[in-house]
């Protein structure tokens, strides 16, 4: 009886944007908040580097603005291109010791403005009333517009990172069909593949073997 009543109630729900999914191409925009940090691999002889003993990446928050271009493949798959800007910061903290006594922590903030170009394949469930569930997977290429990779760093003021980055993304979320637009909250994770550290003899860079970006994002899409 409960299943029957549920089915009746579902049929009684008016469908918003009933012909929305028949569009081959549509557009929208995305706003999001992110937390960004690094996956750090230290050099093998890390503890022999002067008095540096601890190296940690500290995540910080930022935000995203993107344009959504969606190509409808079939009822369950879409191909999406989402170029945009991401503003991010992450910190590297270096703790120094001398003869077993902590000498203090040096923090190197790394601010980035990414021009990014993600391409996602979106897999959608069947439409249930006015919503769907979806998962995404894809590839992202990004350019750090404020990279200091080629700037002289004689005073060890900053950690040099590569200007270009690329990696893969996975995500999940919901499509809600409203009366005038489709609203989609989602979560997404980006794992960079490229080693971002630039060869530099200064201890803040020479203590790092590999440095890869990690980004977690909560986004809200309007299409």
Report the pLDDT value the prediction gives residue 46, as an integer from 0 to 100.
Answer: 52
Pull the structure tokens for residue 128.
């249930």
101-140 pLDDT per residue, tens: 667 788 888 899 999 999 999 999 999 999 999 999 999 9
Q: How far apart are CA 192 and CA 80, in angstroms?
A: 19
Tell me which residue has tokens 């994770």: 189
Q: Which residue has the higher pLDDT, 205 or 30?
A: 30
Average pLDDT, the chain: 87
What length is written for the chain? Answer: 223
pTM of the model: 0.84
174-204 pLDDT per residue, tens: 999 999 999 999 999 999 999 999 887 777 8
Q: Could you give the angle at the alpha carbon of 122 between the alpha carbons of 214 and 11, nearest 5°?
A: 130
Domains and CATH numbers, the chain: 21-222 (2.40.128)
Q: How far apart are CA 125 and CA 173, in angstroms?
A: 11
Report the pLDDT value the prediction gives residue 9, as an integer from 0 to 100.
Answer: 47
């Amino acid at each position: 009886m409960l299943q029957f009543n549920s089915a009746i109630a579902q049929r009684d729900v008016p469908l918003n944007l009933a012909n929305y999914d028949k569009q081959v191409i549509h557009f929208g925009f995305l706003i999001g908040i992110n937390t960004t940090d690094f996956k750090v691999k230290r050099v093998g002889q890390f503890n022999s580097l002067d008095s540096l003993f601890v190296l940690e990446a500290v995540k910080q928050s930022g935000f995203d603005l993107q344009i959504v271009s969606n190509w409808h493949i079939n009822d369950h798959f879409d191909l999406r291109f989402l170029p945009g800007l991401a503003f991010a910061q992450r910190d590297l903290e270096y703790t120094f010791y001398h003869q077993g006594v902590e000498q203090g922590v040096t923090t190197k903030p790394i601010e980035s403005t990414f021009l990014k170009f993600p391409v996602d394949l979106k897999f959608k469930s069947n439409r249930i009333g006015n919503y769907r569930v979806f998962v995404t997977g894809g590839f992202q290429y990004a350019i750090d517009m404020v990279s200091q990779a080629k700037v002289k760093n004689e005073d060890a003021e900053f950690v040099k990172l590569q200007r270009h980055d690329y990696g893969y993304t996975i995500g999940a979320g919901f499509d809600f069909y409203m009366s005038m637009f489709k609203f989609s909250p989602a979560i997404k994770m980006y794992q960079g593949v490229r080693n971002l550290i630039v060869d530099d003899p200064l201890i803040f860079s020479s203590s790092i073997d590999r440095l890869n970006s990690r980004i977690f994002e909560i986004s809200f899409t309007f299409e």
